[in-house]
Amino acid sequence: MHPGFRRVLGVLAGLAVALGVIFAVEAVNGTIYPLPQGTIVSSRESMRAALATLPAMALVIVLVGWLIAAVAGAYVATKVAGKVPGPAWVLGGLLLAVTILNLMSVPHPVWFWFPAVLVWPPGIAAGVKLALR
């Protein structure tokens, strides 16, 4: 298989795994800490009010899920790409960009912004390190 194709496939496979982990963790988190009844997810103000009612632990669980997603996605991206770390870092850049878009579109508490952005690089680095063992 052509190395370029393997690298693209690595990014896509890593993205699929990372998104799967994120969706699974956030689904479980939503069961533990559901949004208040009547929350309109398409309304910024409704989401701001809903997120303000959730305990901090609900957002900490999201961060932990994102960290696990980064490790798992980077691991898969690196393995599929043939033990080349570049695709994992491309994946990390994509996940970081999506995180920033999410933070700008859904009004999260201010304290959440800093760890939400910083969770990706160490997670990607850990996933790459595990894959290169």
Q: Which residues of 73-90 are buried (b: 16+ CB within 10 A; e: fewer)?
A: bbbbbbbbbeebbebbbb
Structurally, the chain folds into a number of domains equal to: 1
- Predicted confidence at residue 106, as pLDDT, reads 87
Helices (H), ranges, 33-119: 44-53, 56-80, 86-105, 110-118
Q: What are phi and psi of 55, to 5 degrees?
A: -70, 155
- Predicted confidence at residue 69, as pLDDT, reads 98
Q: Report the helix count and the strand count for the chain, using DSSP H and E.
A: 6, 0
Residues 6 or more apart whose CB falls under 8 angstroms from that of 91 comprise 10, 11, 14, 15, 18, 73, 74, 77, 124
What's the one-letter identity of residue 77?
A: A
- Predicted confidence at residue 107, as pLDDT, reads 86
Full pLDDT tens readout for the chain, 133 residues: 788 999 999 999 999 999 999 999 999 999 999 999 999 988 988 998 999 899 999 999 999 999 999 999 999 999 999 999 999 999 999 999 999 999 999 888 999 999 999 999 999 999 999 999 9
Domain extent for 38: 3-131
- pTM across the whole model: 0.92
pLDDT tens digits for range 58-82: 999 999 999 999 999 999 999 999 9
